[in-house]
């Protein structure tokens, strides 16, 4: 695949960052539509998304710099390469920072929590779909070995993929990022259709969490376990544990909203 989308002189434009950025922009514009449908001020949702996005990025970079501070002190130029590194721990930190910023903004502006959550459900799934497409190009979050008989397997040959993401080269792999991207996109379409017909505020948010958890859990079955915090002799990994928590949280939201109806 192609971890570098194109060059601007000596500057590399990474595929992951470019495709993920496109996904963020599309998600922001979609959020304007879903905000109107959910009855939330689109301008407030825009500001909420921007605050969450920058908080997530800052949180990820701070952790990455802190973990690699010794190497950066010896080789300051390596800080540029750190921007290309992707890891499940970084994703978790980014999600937590973004969620904290979003919650803080909702409370500060006194927005309807459930209506705002419903407005963000489809855009979040859409953004994740593009993030996984970027990961597919970059070789990040790569799959397990597929064998030569899988016609849609992917084989990475770029040394940058190995350097930035530890991707094995010359080996046919399961395109698990494509599986996840398709699943996230399907969820986004479903949520977009569901918001206008929801029975009550919070339904789309609950379905979103359940869907995200299910997608993460099952796609992990095709991901290489390296660096993903495998537990119980490989029975489950850290992203799958997070996925189970997402499903539980989504189920509790749906149950609580139904009970309060």
Q: What is the pLDDT of residue 4?
A: 75
**Is 184 within 8 Å of 126 (Cβ atoms)?**
yes
Radius of gyration of the chain (CA): 19
Q: What is the pLDDT of residue 10?
A: 66
d(C-alpha 47, C-alpha 58), whole Å: 16
Task: Using CA atoms of 105, 90, 140, 72 in order, give the dihedral in degrees to the nearest 10.
Answer: 120
Query: What confidence tier does 59 reach under pLDDT thresholds 50, 70, 90?
Result: confident
Q: What is the pLDDT of residue 153?
A: 93
Q: What is the pLDDT of residue 74?
A: 66
Instruction: State the pTM of this model.
Output: 0.87
Give me the DSSP letters along 36-61: HHHT--HHHHHHHHHHHHHHHHHHHH
The number of beta carbons lying within 10 Å of the beta carbon of residue 261 is: 9
Q: What is the pLDDT of residue 86?
A: 60
Q: What is the pLDDT of residue 32?
A: 95
Q: What is the pLDDT of residues 190-243, one digit of tens each?
A: 999 999 988 898 899 999 999 999 999 999 999 988 767 777 776 788 888 989
164-189: average pLDDT: 93
Q: What is the pLDDT of residues 33-48, one digit of tens each?
A: 999 999 999 999 999 9
Which residue has better confidence, 8 or 150? 150
Q: What is the pLDDT of residues 85-108, one digit of tens each?
A: 566 666 777 788 888 999 999 999
The number of beta carbons lying within 10 Å of the beta carbon of residue 255 is: 11
d(C-alpha 30, C-alpha 154), whole Å: 31
Which residue has better confidence, 100 or 12? 100
- The 3-state DSSP class for residue 11 equals strand
CA distance readout (Å), 175 to 121, 217, 221 = 25, 16, 12
**Is 193 within 8 Å of 207 (Cβ atoms)?**
no
Q: What is the pLDDT of residue 35?
A: 95
41-70: average pLDDT: 83
As a whole number, the mean pLDDT across the chain is 85
Does the pLDDT of residue 261 top 60, yes or no? no
Q: What is the pLDDT of residue 180?
A: 96
Q: What is the pLDDT of residue 42?
A: 94
151-155: average pLDDT: 91
- Cβ neighbours of residue 12 under 8 Å, at least 6 residues apart? 4
d(C-alpha 170, C-alpha 74), whole Å: 32
Q: What is the pLDDT of residue 85?
A: 55
């Amino acid at each position: 695949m192609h971890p570098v989308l194109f060059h601007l002189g000596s500057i590399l434009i990474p595929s992951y960052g470019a495709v993920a950025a496109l996904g963020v922009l599309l998600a922001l514009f979609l959020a304007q539509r879903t905000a109107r449908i959910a009855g939330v001020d689109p301008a407030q949702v825009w500001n909420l998304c921007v605050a969450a996005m920058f908080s997530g990025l800052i949180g990820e970079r701070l952790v990455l710099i802190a973990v690699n501070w010794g190497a950066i002190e010896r080789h300051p130029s390596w800080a540029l390469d750190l921007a290309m590194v992707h890891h499940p721990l970084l994703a978790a930190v980014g999600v937590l920072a973004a969620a904290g910023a979003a919650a803080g903004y909702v409370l500060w502006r006194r927005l309807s929590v459930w209506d705002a959550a419903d407005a963000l459900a489809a855009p979040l799934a859409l953004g994740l779909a593009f993030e996984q497409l970027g990961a597919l190009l970059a070789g990040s979050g790569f799959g397990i070995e597929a064998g030569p008989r899988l016609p849609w397997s992917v084989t990475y040959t770029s040394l940058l993929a190995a350097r930035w993401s530890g991707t094995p080269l010359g080996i046919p792999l399961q395109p698990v990022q494509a599986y996840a991207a398709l699943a996230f996109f399907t969820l986004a379409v479903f949520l977009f259709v569901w918001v206008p017909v929801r029975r009550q505020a919070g339904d789309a948010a609950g379905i979103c969490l359940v869907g995200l958890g299910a997608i993460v859990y099952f796609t992990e079955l095709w991901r290489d376990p390296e660096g993903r915090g495998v537990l119980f002799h490989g029975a489950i990994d850290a992203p799958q544990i997070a996925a189970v928590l997402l499903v539980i949280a989504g189920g509790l939201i749906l149950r609580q909203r139904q009970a309060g109806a």
